[in-house]
């Protein structure tokens, strides 16, 4: 496989009559569905309510937002093969995102500008951890407020702490062992777990202890 590889297309029509064109480049899937104004949008294969779909993220049509989930029927394996055939050789470069910008006419003739984050690495070049983070980024498309088209944004600037739960636990355990003190890993608020107490919410704190344990402490609010 070589870099900047584009494969052939997969074309099909959904049960509701929408024409779909799928292409792949550098291990990433792109989809065109003109009937819902989705043009050259990055997407990934997913399963929603038992159906295989292409998830093209949150889109806007006639001023309304919607999540573009495109049923692929029996074409899933063909699309996945399309993506695999386009994968370049893996690279150890850090994952970053380019801010892209498109402008189109709205229902009333107004210009609508949309910013989108596009990975500078292909799916095939990403580590498993980066792939998981990339899926979250594609769903939310949290473009930084001050970003401009062409900007390159670091992964940490989009999602913050990129460590997994296991990595956070391990880092906290190591710090607790070094300092001899408990280290708070996370704090959250959740529904009370005791129907006999007169409270609605509990404060939940996860800590790492110097003895090498992860403990969860729950405090009731009244």
152 and 133: one domain? Answer: yes
- Residue 43's nearest CA partner among 53, 51, 52, 150 is 53
Residue 2 lies in a domain: no
* 128 SS3 class: helix
Decide if 38 contacts 18 (C-beta within 8 A): no
- What domain range is 185 assigned to? 165-220
172 and 153: one domain? Answer: no
- The DSSP 8-state label assigned to residue 160 in this structure reads S
20 and 92: one domain? Answer: yes
The per-residue pLDDT for range 99-148, each reduced to its tens digit, is 998 887 777 877 888 888 989 888 778 887 888 888 888 888 888 888 88
Local confidence band at 3 (pLDDT 50, 70, 90 cut-offs): very low
pTM for the whole structure: 0.43
141 and 40: one domain? Answer: yes
70 and 95: one domain? Answer: yes
The per-residue pLDDT for range 162-208, each reduced to its tens digit, is 888 888 899 999 999 999 999 999 888 888 777 777 777 888 899 99
119 and 14: one domain? Answer: yes
How many domains does the structure of the chain reveal?
2
154 and 193: one domain? Answer: no
Write the burial class of residue 214 (CB in 10 Å: 0-12 exposed, 13-18 middle, 19+ buried): middle
Give the whole-angstrom CA distance, residue 23 versus residue 190.
43
146 and 171: one domain? Answer: no
Decide if 162 contacts 137 (C-beta within 8 A): no
Portion of the chain with pLDDT greater than 90, in percent: 35
99 and 180: one domain? Answer: no
51 and 29: one domain? Answer: yes
15 and 122: one domain? Answer: yes
Give the whole-angstrom CA distance, residue 5 versus residue 82.
11
Token representation of residue 158: 């989009």
Local confidence band at 1 (pLDDT 50, 70, 90 cut-offs): very low
């Amino acid at each position: 496989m070589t870099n900047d590889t584009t494969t052939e297309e997969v074309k099909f029509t959904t049960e509701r009559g929408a024409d779909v064109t799928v292409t792949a480049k550098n291990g990433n899937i792109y989809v065109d569905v003109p009937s819902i104004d989705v043009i050259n949008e990055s997407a990934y294969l997913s399963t929603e309510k038992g159906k295989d779909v292409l998830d093209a993220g949150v889109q806007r049509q006639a001023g309304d937002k919607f999540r573009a989930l495109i049923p692929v029927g029996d074409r899933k394996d063909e699309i996945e093969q399309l993506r695999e055939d386009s994968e370049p050789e893996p690279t150890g470069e850090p994952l970053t995102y380019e801010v892209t910008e498109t402008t189109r006419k709205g229902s009333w003739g107004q210009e609508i500008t949309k910013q989108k984050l596009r990975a500078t690495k292909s799916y095939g070049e990403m580590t498993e951890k980066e792939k998981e983070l990339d899926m979250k980024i594609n769903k939310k498309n949290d473009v930084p407020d001050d970003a401009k088209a062409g900007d390159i944004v670091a992964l940490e600037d989009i999602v913050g702490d990129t460590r997994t739960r296991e990595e956070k636990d391990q880092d906290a355990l190591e710090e607790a062992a070094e300092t001899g003190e408990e280290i708070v890993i996370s704090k959250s608020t959740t529904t009370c777990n005791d129907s006999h107490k007169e409270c609605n919410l509990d404060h939940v704190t996860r800590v790492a202890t110097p003895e090498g344990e992860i403990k969860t402490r729950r405090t009731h609010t009244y």
